[in-house]
Amino acid sequence: MSAAIAADRLGTTAELQFATFYVGHMLLGVDIRVVQEINRQSEITQVPHAPDYVRGVINLRGDVATVVDLRTILGLPASEASRQTRNLIVHHKGEAIGLLVDRISDILTLSDDQINPPPTNVDGVDGRLMSGVCTLDSAIVVLLDIDEVLSDSARQE
């Protein structure tokens, strides 16, 4: 039985937490359970012949993490790194992946009834990369499906 069905039967709703961040002007979020850490953009070593979405690799306290440019995956124009640029390190299929984001926002706690199904696209971003959207007083938060974002099919041109 899913958590949402169990919560409905109990008359309660499940609470979910998301790490939120900006890529361009878009406020995005990922399930906090997949987030390992957030760090400043450190020295990225480029990888020869890597796809255009791979920025390179970083040394994460002795472990190697691949850094991908979330802008490229989402089909947004590239930008230069700034003082606010961060690596959002997530776990995906047993591997640490750094998502290059423009700036970090906050931790957002939502009940599952606040999350709406994803539209077909938001600002040109393919809806299949989203797990849902949430409308706040001041913004719309696009919740990313990290498995879909990092899947091979999402990165095909």
Average pLDDT for residues 108-124, to the nearest whole number? 85
d(CA 29, CA 76): 17
Contact 23, 99 (CB under 8 A): no
Work out the angle at residue 66's Cα, subtended by the Cα atoms of residues 63 and 68, and round it to the nearest 5 degrees: 155
- pTM across the whole model: 0.83
For the chain, the average pLDDT equals 85
Give me the percent of the chain exceeding a pLDDT of 70. Answer: 86
User: Which residues 6+ apart lie within 8 Å of 26 measured at CB?
Assistant: 74, 76, 122, 123, 125, 142
Q: Which residues pair with 63 in a beta bridge?
A: 60
Residue 40 corresponds to which tokens in the numbers above? 């400043």
pLDDT surpasses 70 at 10: no
Regarding predicted confidence, which is higher, 40 or 109?
109
Query: If you write DSSP's letter for every residue of 32-92 in order, what string do you get?
Result: GGGEEEEEE--PPBP-TT--TTEEEEEEETTEEEEEEEHHHHTTPPP----TT-EEEEEEE
| pLDDT band at 6; cut points 50, 70, 90 | very low
| Residue pLDDT, tens place only, 74-111 | 888 877 778 889 999 999 998 999 999 999 999 999 99
